[in-house]
């Protein structure tokens, strides 16, 4: 292993960093001081990657006209819708289509933290909702074609659904991303993993939170219990998104949402746009529950391995706390999510039972596609990002194998 360089621990850290190298480390950007709240502004409009995204950017530059309308904006909205229709007709792989994934991500972000410099009223623009509906419906159709509903006998109890989910999520397979990180990844590759994950983990838990008011009874209580823990149990600096931001800073990475969005390949974006399209539609509440259950059920072992990988690379608790926390937290969450969320919902609400199972399978499929692309790139000696990280962000060029 070549000697590597990394940012020193954040100034507030008093933990001994016996494993952190101190010999002749070049000066690298210091991580921003940790905030106590983790609060941040809206993300910048993601740079477009094609005609649909450019047409959307043209719309979002303008104020939302409201019911009165305005001819120029209406023309730009029509141009945008036409561009999406054309791009949907032309694409042969929506999940890996850079232009359409960035476009959908941008539209959905209007419902989360918003976009810097963009009129918040665009969130409920009927025209943008219509165009977003085209993208989401097309994506859902592709996913339903690619991901079969797991077979679980009708009349299964909540416990039996939970057991089926544990069997599904425990099956061997996958490209071995976490094992690669634990044993093989270079510092640069480890930083890339964090950049891929930053898209979701800086808003960790938010896509599933949309489902809370759409549920009731035991499944609702279960989801609230999980999400409350995800959001730090009332302590802002324990929010999982805040812990992830801290890991990014300790690696010398920019923790502002969207800082690396232009580096992130379409298929990674598709995993978030899928979560959001599930969360934003009441009709798909079953799939949200199944998705979260599978997410929690496939978390403890990979996070242990990620933590081990960063320790192998010489990082201390400032970087690994996020991963270590998830080993403990998700061992709790998976039990709640399997039985009281997914299992109970499948029994209580037969209309969404198959979607609970579909959502779980979807989570596994998306994880696999994202991980396959990363591991394949690294095995071929390439960056797994659209372009490598700027020198000094998380790793130096010299540190790469």
State the residues that interact with another protein by CB under 8 A. 159, 163, 166, 170, 225, 228-229, 233, 238, 299-301, 304, 327-332, 334-336, 339
Counting Cα atoms < 13 Å in the Cβ hemisphere of 180 gives 20
The burial of 379, by beta-carbon neighbours within 10 Å (0-12 exposed, 13-18 middle, 19 or more buried), is given as exposed
Quick one: 12 or 159, whose CB is closer to another protein?
159
Least distance in Å: CB of 212 to another protein?
17
> Residue 219 Cβ, how far from another protein at the closest point, in Å?
16
**Residue 249: CB minimum distance to another protein, A:** 21
Q: What would the two tokens of residue 162 be? A: 């939970």
CA distance 258 to 252: 16
152 contacts 164 by C-beta, under 8 angstroms: yes
Tokens representing 53? 């995204």
Phi, psi at 267, each rounded to 5° = -65, -30
Rg (CA), the chain: 21
Q: Which is nearer to another protein, 167 or 401 (CB)?
A: 167
Choose among 5, 3, 11: nearest CA to 31.
11
Using CA atoms, how far residue 136 sits from 187, 238, 272, 273, 278, in Å, is 36, 33, 12, 8, 9
Distance CA 115, CA 60 (A): 9
Long-range contacts of 8-11 (CB under 8 A, 24+ apart): 9/250, 9/316, 9/318, 10/34, 10/246, 10/249, 10/250, 10/318
Which residue is associated with the tokens 């060029």?
397
Q: What is the DSSP string of 22-84?
A: -SSPPP-PPPPPPPSS----PBPPPPP-SHHHHHHHHHHTSPP-GGG--HHHHHHHHHHHHHH
Contact residues for 398 (Cβ-Cβ < 8 A; gap 6+): 2, 5
Q: How far apart are CA 314 and CA 308, in angstroms?
A: 10
Least distance to another protein, CB of residue 48, Å:
41
Question: And the tokens for 274?
Answer: 């899928």
């Amino acid at each position: 292993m070549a000697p590597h360089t990394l940012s020193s621990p954040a100034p507030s850290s008093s933990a001994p960093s016996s494993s952190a190298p101190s010999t002749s480390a070049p000066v690298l950007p210091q991580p921003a001081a940790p905030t106590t709240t983790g609060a941040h502004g809206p993300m910048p409009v993601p740079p477009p990657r094609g005609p649909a995204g450019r047409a959307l950017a043209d719309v979002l530059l303008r104020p939302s006209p409201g019911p009165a309308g305005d001819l120029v904006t209406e023309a730009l909205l029509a141009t945008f819708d036409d561009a999406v229709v054309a791009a949907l007709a032309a694409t042969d792989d929506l999940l890996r289509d850079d232009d359409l994934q960035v476009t959908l991500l941008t539209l959905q972000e209007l419902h989360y933290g918003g976009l810097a410099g963009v009129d918040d009223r665009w969130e409920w623009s009927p025209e943008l909702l219509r165009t977003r509906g085209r993208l989401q419906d097309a994506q859902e159709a592709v996913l339903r074609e690619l991901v079969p509903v797991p077979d679980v006998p009708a009349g299964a109890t909540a416990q039996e659904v939970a057991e089926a989910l544990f069997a599904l999520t425990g099956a061997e397979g996958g490209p071995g991303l976490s094992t690669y990180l634990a044993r093989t990844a270079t510092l640069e590759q480890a930083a890339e993993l964090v950049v891929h994950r930053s898209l979701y983990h800086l808003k960790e838990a938010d896509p599933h939170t949309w489902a809370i008011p759409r549920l009731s009874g035991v499944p609702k209580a279960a989801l609230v219990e999980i999400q409350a823990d995800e959001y730090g149990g009332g302590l802002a600096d324990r929010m999982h998104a805040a812990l992830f931001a801290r890991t990014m800073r300790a690696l010398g990475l920019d923790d502002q949402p969207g800082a690396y969005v232009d580096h992130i390949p379409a298929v990674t974006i598709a995993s978030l746009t899928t979560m959001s399209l599930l969360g934003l539609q009441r009709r798909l509440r079953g799939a949200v529950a199944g998705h979260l259950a599978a997410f929690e059920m496939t978390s403890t072992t990979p996070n242990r391995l990620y933590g081990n990988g960063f320790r192998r690379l010489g990082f201390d608790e400032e970087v690994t706390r996020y991963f270590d926390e998830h080993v403990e937290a998700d061992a709790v969450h998976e039990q709640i999510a399997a039985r009281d969320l997914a299992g109970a919902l499948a029994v209580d609400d037969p209309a969404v039972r198959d979607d609970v199972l579909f959502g779980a399978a979807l989570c596994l499929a998306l994880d696999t596609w994202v991980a396959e692309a990363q591991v394949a790139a690294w095995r071929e000696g390439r960056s797994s990002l659209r372009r490598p990280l700027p020198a000094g962000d998380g790793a130096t060029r010299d540190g790469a194998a």
